[in-house]
Homo-oligomer: A and B are copies of this chain.
Amino acid sequence: MRLRVTYHLACSSRLAADKARDIAFEQTVELPEGAVPPDVAARVAGRVESVESLGRGRSRAVISFDPAVVCGDLPQLLNLLFGNISFKPGILIADLEWPDELLAALRGPRLGITGLRELTGVRGRALLCTALKPLGLSAAGLAERAYGFARAGIDIIKDDHSLSDQAAAPFRERVERCCEAVARANGETGGNARYFPNVTSSPPEMLERAGLARRAGCGGVVVNALPAGLGAVGAVAATGLAVMSHPALAGAFFQRDHGIAPPVLLGDLFRVAGSDAVIYPNVGGRFTFSDATCAAINARLRGPLGTVSPSFPVPAGGIDAGRVPYWIERYGADTIFLIGGSLYAQPELTRAAERLVAAVRRHFHG
């Protein structure tokens, strides 16, 4: 089977077939058809499977590619899908159909929903996550907050995705202090909260930070998938750590007629890259996703996908703590709710977290 990519083309339907053929060659052999030996073109160039008008100056083209061109390599996958044609106007990747061979090569999440439930000991309910912030606080200050969140029963306490190795809270000190704080809280409550530090950096530094997090017993980490490169997600996943991917920069791809549709990028691509959980901006928050987009991302992360394990959706970006029961009704138990700002807006952070935890447990256990 071939990798089938559905492109939406913003052009007159008269030109759509030519545009599709141009994409098929540009993204593979990077030569016009006449300059490619026919046997090479037959094996390697994309194949235009169908072109149909969607009306109003838009067409849908399905182009299939030999999955062997990807080499099981995530940067090359991104390049094949959208590398050079990112410079051409009016091209949107609307859908992907994956051959099993490629899915097997890319692997996807190592823990997935099941493994992340084992890591956190949470069964039968949605998970709660919050972020340590703000940037600029000391490692001791962040650890104190981590302790309070763990005491309150938050399942995953993650670094804000801008926490790197700043002098106020250097990576190593932050990981040591926050792990200790969360372990101490767990010892007192009998709970199983986890601290996920942000390990995003350049290679090879990033894998060193992941190693440090693993040895400190974190169990999982945050990766800014696009700034780091999707391949970095896979490299961290291969260490056995759970990966929660953050969507920083992804918005550049979400133009109406150009880019990669959110369910494809944050759903399919982040998942096959190895994300056990994917953060995205929930509808009604401080960003701009629609209801339908959020539902589609959830479906793409959790649905059947060859041998690839399901990933947790992590709606975020301004969810009101008081509305979490509503979102649980909407999104179901296989969701991690990331509540940050709405807790920090309340006068007592730990008390706010306790109320949130109580509301969720009440929802699931009556």
Give A residues with C-beta under 8 Å from B. Answer: 26-32, 34-37, 40-41, 43-44, 68-71, 73-76, 78-80, 82-89, 131, 133-137, 160-162, 164-168, 200-207, 224, 226-232, 234-235, 247-255, 258-260, 281, 286-289, 317, 340-341, 344-345
Q: Are A40 and B251 in contact (CB under 8 A)?
A: no
Question: Is B79 a contact partner of A248 (Cβ separation < 8 A)?
Answer: yes
Expressed in whole angstroms, the minimum distance between the Cβ of A363 and any Cβ of chain B is 26
Q: How far is the CA of A221 from the CA of B227 in the complex (A)?
A: 21
A79 interface neighbour in B29, B224, B234, Cβ under 8 Å: B224
CB-based contact B69/A224 at 8 Å: no
Is B248 in contact with A202, judged by CB distance below 8 angstroms?
A: no
Cβ–Cβ < 8 Å partners of A252 in chain B: 82, 86, 252-253, 258-260
Query: Would you call A231 and B76 a contact (CB within 8 A)?
Result: no
How far does the alpha carbon of A87 sit from the alpha carbon of B249 in the complex, in Å?
A: 8
Most buried by B among A40, A78, A133, A251: A251
Q: Which residues of B contact A248 (CB under 8 A)?
A: 78-79, 83-84, 86
CB closest chain-B residue, reference A44: B136
From B29, B160, B249, B260, A78 is in contact (CB under 8 Å) with B249
Of A29, A83, A131, A254, most buried by chain B (CB within 10 Å of CB) is A83
Chain B minimum-CB-distance residue to A285 = B87
Q: How far is the CA of A201 from the CA of B232 in the complex (A)?
A: 10
Contacts of A74 in B (CB 8 A): 202, 227
Complex-state Cα separation, A12 to B267, whole angstroms: 34
Q: Which residue from chain B places its CB closest to the CB of A131 in the assembled complex?
A: B30
Contacts of A166 in B (CB 8 A): 68-69, 71
Q: A202-B229, A288-B87, A345-B35 are in contact. Are A71 and B165 (CB under 8 A)?
A: yes
Q: Are A345 and B231 in contact (CB under 8 A)?
A: no
The residue in chain B whose Cβ has the minimal distance to the Cβ of A74 is: B202
Q: Say yes or no: A227-B229 contact (C-beta < 8 A), given A28-B162, A340-B30.
A: yes
Q: How far is the CA of A288 from the CA of B216 in the complex (A)?
A: 50
Contact between A86 and B249, CB atoms less than 8 A apart: yes
Question: Judging by beta carbons under 8 Å apart, are A69 and B162 in contact?
Answer: yes
Q: Judging by beta carbons under 8 Å apart, are B203 and A40 in contact?
A: no
Q: Are A44 and B227 in contact (CB under 8 A)?
A: no
Taken together as a complex, chains A and B put the C-alpha atoms of A204 and B208 apart, in Å, by: 11
Chain B minimum-CB-distance residue to A86: B251
* CB of A25 to closest CB in B, whole Å: 9
Q: A203-B206, A230-B227 are in contact. Are A32 and B73 (CB under 8 A)?
A: no
CB A298 to nearest CB in B, in angstroms, measures 17
CA distance A259 to B255 in the complex (A): 10
